[in-house]
Structure 1
Amino acid sequence: MPDPVAPPVVRLDPADLLARLRAETGVELELIGPLPGGQVGAALVRRPDGREAVLTHWGDGSDEAWARIERAGGLLAIARDAGIPAPRYELVARLDDRIAVVQERLPGEPPSRVDLALVENLVTIAGRGAGLLRERPDVPASELYLLRSGPGFCLHETLAQYDDRTRRLLELVRRIGAASPHRMAGDDLVHLDFHPGNVLVDRTGAVTGVVDWDGVGRGDHRFALVTLRFALAVPGVDAQDRSARSAAARWLDNRIDDLLDDRFDVATLRAYWAHMGLRLVDWAIRHHGPDDVDRWLTVAASRLA
């Protein structure tokens, strides 16, 4: 198996980032420890006043990345006003090669189980993004990257190199891309990585937070349901969890089909599905292993074959 043509995304080194943040801003933050989950990493820190916060990092420190993070803070305020439990950005600092973000620590913990009640709640939350960006023409529509590689994700080169199965998927993705708009239509506010790993719940299972808004953008809120559906293919922690995930996945498949209309038609759903297949197969090749590659190829084929 050849090495991937692009390296894995660098994970957060919280101690190093805190030292650099201190040198840049003079703000003293105490490292409590890494937070579980996530692909790039986040850390729990304590502010000088004793409040806990979450430390993450963004992009490459470029002007484009800085513009995105500035815009994201405002979009999260719009999300909160619509009843979406999104965090506030409390400190943003531009370093040489990345952007450090200290954001509000929302209450709750990642869900220990994923069941139908949680998925129904998440579908409702995603729907609250509908129409929120009608008055924000400055926010660009989100690209699907079906014809070219994305900025650090959705890399076509990775699939082209890996094996015959991934090359076939890439060929299909590009065919779909040639027949589809390259950006999402719509004026909805969309969390582009909407899955249970980016959710917090309280002891009753109620959603208290949706985090990791690096990919917030303009488009169709139903795209978030496709992202969520792919996430439900991740194996549960035990037989009960696996059964609950399967039931939730069947319900969500039906819900997605029920939402098809003139704007969210079969061709559009197919383009969204192609994007997620491309994104997750590429990510699995570079960050995980053959079992994950197999899983995402199977899920991609379920609506693309």
Structure 2
Amino acid sequence: MPDPATPAPPVPRLDAPELLSRLHAATGTNLELIGPLPGGQVGAALVRWPDGHESVLTHWGDPSDEAWARIARTGELLGLARDAGIPAPRYELVTRLADRIAVVQERLPGEPPSRVDLALVENLVAIAGRGARLLRERADVPTAELHLLRSGPGFCLHETLAQYDERTRRLLDLVRRIGAASPHRMAGHDLVHTDFHPGNVLVDRTGAVTGVVDWDGVARGDHRFALVTLRFDLAVPGVDAQDRSARSAAARWLDNRIDDLLDAATLRAYWAHMGLRMVDWAIRHHDPDDVDRWLTVAASRLA
């Protein structure tokens, strides 16, 4: 049974009407709320400008100078991504408020994929590869930290696993042992989308990828990390037998690609990070079945 100790709180979801009201007071911008966007864990909302075009409203819960500079840098990196053929959005309005930063970004065409199959996964792997060496002249962009020895900022929380039950404490001990034998940060000069999965992808009616969104965690590092993130997502059950079969075929193909592209030590460090990340998030935001799933997925490459 879970430990009765109080766990870390979940990440607050977006209150779009309240944020739009504050954004109007600060900038005079009149944005109409259309409604929440489906999917995502913390939330984003669809809004309409006075000229009729639609955008996406999100926010960062940290209004510090460091966060402000990071968002400005993210906008630049999205430009590099687009130049490399990665369909990333533009930031249209960024405003610092007292307790957060509001971001209104371009709404890219397409919809989240209704099916995840081999063709989509092959396409996503190719898109991730377009980030290779894009940041070789951008030493100002921090490399991604794996958080194997200490908690991340709002995710990869070690305390959550330490408090939950004996299984999560065993995983945390293993993660920390892997962290003690691994670099704390990714190597490389690639542009890395650190939450790369179909939920952050848009496709057109033919299944072609038209957008990759949610770049808040963009970093310098190893573009192959995105393949491990994608592989974890393929462990989510499909909506029906056909979807489950397609996901299973895509997962087998991706497992082979990962084994071809990553040495054992690097893969172990990336897998430990994702296991920590997903188990922590499931404890704080989902139910015991999700915790069980991610513990099983983590063990599949770490045990």
Shared fold, TM over 0.5: yes
Alignment of 1:145-164 (within 5 A): 145-164=147-166
Q: Hey, what's the Cα distance between the residues in 1 that align with 2:302 and 2:50? A: 52
What SS does the aligned partner of 1:75 have?
helix
Aligned match for 1:231, one of 207, 230, 233? 233
TM-score by length of 1: 0.98
Identity %: 87
Aligned to 1:93: 95
Q: Secondary structure at the match of 1:203?
A: coil
Runs of 4+ in 1 over 3 A off after TM superposition: none
Partner of 1:11: 13
**2:115 counterpart (106, 113, 116):** 113
Alignment of 1:195-234 (within 5 A): 195-234=197-236
Structure 1 position 259, deviation (Å): 1.1
Which structure 2 residues correspond to residues 255-294 of structure 1 after superposition, within 5 A? 255-260=257-262, 265-294=263-292
Take 1:4 and 1:275, find their aligned partners in 2: how far apart are those partners?
Answer: 23
The Cα offsets for residues 157-191 of structure 1, whole Å up to 9 and x where unpaired, read as 00000000000000000000000010000000000
Give the secondary-structure state (helix, strand or coil) at the position aligned to 1:103.
Answer: strand
Aligned to 1:37: 39
Give the whole-Å Cα distance in 2 for the aligned partners of 1:72 and 1:135: 15
Q: Measure, in 1, the Cα distance between the counterparts of 2:39 and 2:256.
A: 28
TM-score (norm 2): 0.98
Contact 1:4 1:162 in 2 (8 A): no
Q: 1:42-82 CA distances to partner (integer Å, 9 max, x unpaired)?
A: 00000111110000011321222212111100000000000
Cα distance in 1, alignment partners of residues 197 and 149 from structure 2? 25
Task: Please report how far the alpha carbon of residue 5 of structure 1 lies from its aligned counterpart in structure 2 after TM superposition.
Answer: 2.5
1-10 or 93-102, which moves further after superposition? 1-10
Matched residue count: 301
- 1:28 is aligned to 30
Name the amino acid aligned to 2:181.
Answer: A
Contact 1:154/1:278 (<8 A) preserved: yes
Structure 2, unaligned stretches of length 5 or more?
A: none
Give the counterpart letter for 1:289 in structure 2. D
What is the Cα-based RMSD across aligned positions, in Å? 0.8
Query: Structure 2 residue aligned with 1:245, among 221, 244, 247?
Result: 247
How far apart, CA to CA, are the structure 1 residues paired with 2:249 and 2:67?
A: 39
Question: 1:126-182: per-residue Cα shift (whole Å, max 9, x none)?
Answer: 000000000101001110000000000000000000000000000000000000010
Alpha-carbon deviations, 1:12-57, whole Å to 9, x = none? 0100010011111110000001000000100000011111000001
